[in-house]
Structure 1
Amino acid sequence: MLDDFFTRAVLAGLGLALVAGPLGCFVVWRRMAYFGDSTAHAAILGVALALAFDVSIYAGTLAVAVAMACLVSALVARGQAMDTMLGVLSHSALAIGLVAISFVPSARSDLSAYLFGDILAVGRADLVLIWAGAALVLGLLILRWQRLVTSSLNEELAMAAGIDPRLERLMLSLCLAVVVALAIRVVGSLLISAMLIVPAAAARGWARTPERMAAGAALVAAGSVLAGLWSSLRLDTPAGPSIVTAAAVFFLISQGVRRA
């Protein structure tokens, strides 16, 4: 069954959706959209370094994404303005990554795959890494769920309950870095943030509890993967952008249902 490229693409997309939905809820609650952009755009630099030193794309992307996540967390902790600092780092990371990748001749022809993903080229080894990483992040979110939710919704209440908001913010940053590394082959660096934010935003309108919102976001993300891959196969459109387009359609539907 896994010899079928479309089956591998579906499994890879569902693995990403399983973790992107719940993690995206924290991105929405904490208003960390720019944070996701900064980490995702830095992934291009990780790709360039991985190709230059002949190491795994996932390893290079993860290393740079973790470094960016730690840098952003440190700057925010020192009192820097969140939106301005993240805006500067986001666009700077993308520009530096694109300049760096231009010095790697083997990567120039595949640049669009790293920017917009190439889920149809996912192999068996990619599937193992995607599902293992998704299971790791999802397990961490489940174990620390109450702490993460409390610190996300009210940091003062979290401190009163003996929870360190800085530690929880760092944990989320590291989880986000792992998901970025996993998603580089699925939707690309430019669309990773959309897969985190759009399903969570779609589920937010009708969910009454954080747990239901997380489950709803995962379902929307999974539905987006299936609908996007189906439309890509039928209409011969790029798979990564098709997945995000499907997520946007689900968001519009959720808004219409909510108003009705």
Structure 2
Amino acid sequence: MDEFLARALAGGLGLALVAGPFGCFVVWRRMAYFGDTLAHAALLGVVLGVALNVDFTIGIALLSLVVALLLGFMQRQRHLASDTLLGIISHGALATGLVALALMQDARVNLMGWLLGDILAIGWTDVAVLWGGGAVLLVALALVWPTLVAMIVDEDLAAVEGHAVARARMVLMVLVALVVAAAMKVVGILLVTALLVIPAATARKF
């Protein structure tokens, strides 16, 4: 097997193993649009990476964390519904990212690569980050798993039973944000939500 195919297989397998469990909670918690919002906002993370002269993945991860925390706090207000907030942040960040890239005369960004991903272009360092970071994310998910399952059944009942509902909700949003950031280079902005939602939704039938 060619080395670039081996890297693609190792990276794709590592990402799939991480996306599977998180995809279940994305479907159970009806967070598909949240993942889509993070994916669209990631373009602004690319701009952040260019501005700070760091790896784009770091910029995307930082921006995804900010968006997740912002949504977590904004959902506590009662003036706007959650889907409205997601729409505002999603398309606002996407538009801001496109305008910022257009204004950066010296920026050389392969937009198609970030929109659709390029699994054949990842290196062994990317594979190591996917597997190592994925293991950390899965351990973190396991720590809040009982609370998240209780919340899926009934949030009020979970709170009565002593589960830290608000903290678990925020932790899940942050972890999903990091999964989206990790997946961006492999599957791209347009397909990252599909990676989370479609396998989990399909598995529900079995």
TM-score bin (small chain): over 0.9
Verify the 8 A CA contact 1:12 1:127 in the aligned structure 2: yes
Cα separation, 1, equivalents of 2:15 and 2:167: 24
Task: Look up the match of 2:139.
Answer: 139
User: For this pair of structures, how many residues does the alignment match?
Assistant: 204
In 2, Cα distance between the equivalents of 1:162 and 1:202?
33
C-alpha separation between the residues in 2 aligned to 1:164 and 1:152?
Answer: 13
Deviation at 1:106, TM superposition (A): 3.6
**Per-residue Cα deviation, 1:100-129 (whole angstroms, up to 9, x for no partner):** 222344434x11001110111001111111
| Percent identity between the two aligned chains | 48
Which residue does the alignment assign to 2:67?
Answer: 68
Give, in whole Å, the separation in 1 of the partners of 2:55 and 2:173: 22
Counterpart check, 1:120 vs 2:120: yes
1:49 deviation in Å? 1.3
Gaps of 5+ in 2: none
Paired residue for 1:107?
108
**Counterpart of 1:243?**
none
Offset of residue 47 of structure 1? 1.0
Q: Mark the CA change 1:128 to 1:103 in structure 2 (over 3 Å): closer, same or farther.
A: farther
1:164 aligns with 2:164: yes
Residue aligning to 1:173:
173
Alignment-derived partner of residue 130 in structure 2: 130
Specify the alignment match of 1:22 in structure 2.
21
2:54 is equivalent to residue 35 of structure 1: no
Contact kept? 2:41, 2:91, Cα under 8 Å:
no
Supply the RMSD in Å over aligned alpha carbons: 1.5
User: Of the two structures, which has the highest relative contact order with CA contacts closer than 8 Å and spacing of 6 or more?
Assistant: 2
TM-score (structure 2 length as normaliser): 0.93
Q: Does the residue aligned with 1:44 lie in a helix, a strand or coil? A: helix
Contact 1:43 1:64 survives alignment (8 Å): yes
Match of 1:185 in 2: 185
